[in-house]
Amino acid sequence: DQQVKQNSPSLSVQEGRISILNCDYTNSMFDYFLWYKKYPAEGPTFLISISSIKDKNEDGRFTVFLNKSAKHLSLHIVPSQPGDSAVYFCAASAGGYQKVTFGTGTKLQVIP
């Protein structure tokens, strides 16, 4: 039962363009959503989060959008840089509880 789904296993984007990574969830109890970035041989690194009371959160080049009615969130990276090339995990938790449910990841490649 995959409660957090990332349906695109990979994405290639030209440097300077926008990268859009998508994520869907099924558990309506989720109220906190996160994106993590993972480089090979390293643990996931927290990128940005959003609470269910918001529909947008921005941090520099990274913006996360949440559509609760569609149970969908997306991560926008503008402009994309080669150093952004990594695997991006969408994750969610419920009720402030720190059990975090992860998606399967999307491998982003930013082409110089």
Partner 1 sequence: ETGVTQSPTHLIKTRGQQVTLRCSSQSGHNTVSWYQQALGQGPQFIFQYYREEENGRGNFPPRFSGLQFPNYSSELNVNALELDDSALYLCASSGGGAGETQYFGPGTRLLVL
Least distance between partner 1 and beta carbon 102 (Å):
3
List the one residue from 91, 92, 108, 110 that touches partner 1 (CB under 8 A). Answer: 91
89 binds partner 1 (CB under 8 A): yes
Residue closer to partner 1 by CB (options 44, 86) is 44
Would residue 84 be called left, alpha or beta, if left means φ above 0 and alpha means ψ between -120 and 50 degrees?
alpha
Instruction: Name the 3-class secondary structure at 10.
Output: strand
Q: Scanning the structure block, which residue is given the tokens 């975090």?
A: 100
- Exposure b/e, 35-55, CB count within 10 A at least 16 = b: bbbbeeeeebeebbbbeeeee
Min dist. Cβ of residue 38 to partner 1 (A):
8
Which positions touch partner 1 (CB under 8 A)? Answer: 4, 6, 32, 34, 36, 41-46, 49, 51, 89, 91, 96-105
